[in-house]
A = this chain, B = another copy of it.
Amino acid sequence: MTRPGPASRSAYRAFHAIPTRWKDNDALGHMNNAEYLSIIDTAVSLWQLDQGLSITGPDSLRFVVVETGIRFFAEAGFPDMIHAGLRIGHLGRSSFRYEVGLFRNDADTACTEGFFTMVLTDTQGRPTPLPKDVRKALSTLMM
């Protein structure tokens, strides 16, 4: 298995700080896998809101998540401040991929790296080209 090591903060473009919660830890005393995904989800949502990319409401963009994945390198848990770094790893005609590195407190090496592959769809659920302004916003996250 070729498994690239975790990246440093310099491999990501935009950061959001999200603290862990007591309930994030499971019976093994560390953050449950699902909560990492929720933190990634939140970081992506916050960035989109900052860019004016609305995903709720009548005029919202219909982004569909088609795939997600996480690689775990080191534990995180409560109480930690997680710094979620974002970048765009792929920007296609109607699909794109957010890549997110999670950095624990002062660490410069990611404890976790994940991604969301999204497709913009029309009201029938068919892939539709990314509008110019969406493409422009996403491209600011390319390295």
Bound Cα distance A42, B24 (Å): 10
Measured between beta carbons, the chain B residues less than 8 angstroms from A49 are 79
A134 within 8 A of B: no
Distance, CA A25 to CA B70, complexed state (A): 21
- Residues on B with beta carbons closer than 8 Å to the beta carbon of A18: 19, 21
A10 at the interface (CB under 8 A from B): no
Given contacts A23-B41, A23-B42, A41-B23, contact A68 B66 (CB under 8 A): no
Picked from B42, B65, B69, B71, the residue with its CB within 8 Å of the CB of A21 is: B42
In the bound complex, what is the Cα–Cα distance between A72 and B116 (angstroms)? Answer: 11
- Neighbouring B residues of A70 by C-beta, 8 Å: 67-69
Q: Taking beta carbons and an 8 Å cutoff, which residues of A are in contact with B?
A: 3, 18-19, 21-23, 25-29, 32-35, 37-39, 41-42, 45-46, 49, 55-56, 64-72, 77-79, 116
3 A-B pairs closest in CB distance: A69-B69, A34-B37, A34-B38
